[in-house]
Amino acid sequence: MYHEVGESVDKCIVRLRNKAGECSFTLENKDERITEQLIEGIHMKDEKKKLISKGDALTLTMAIEMTRSFEASDKDLNEYM
Domain extent listing, the chain:
9-80
- Give me the pLDDT at residue 66, please: 95
- Give me the pLDDT at residue 81, please: 66
Residues in the chain: 81
- Tens of pLDDT, residue by residue over 28-75, are 899 999 999 999 988 888 999 999 999 999 999 999 999 999 988 887
Least Cα distance to 3 among 78, 63, 77 occurs for: 63
CA distance 21 to 48: 25
Determine the number of helices (DSSP H) and then strands (DSSP E) in the chain: 4, 0
- Quickly count: other Cβ atoms within 10 Å of residue 53's Cβ: 9
Q: How many whole angstroms from its chain centre is CA 70?
A: 10
Q: pTM score, two decimals?
A: 0.84
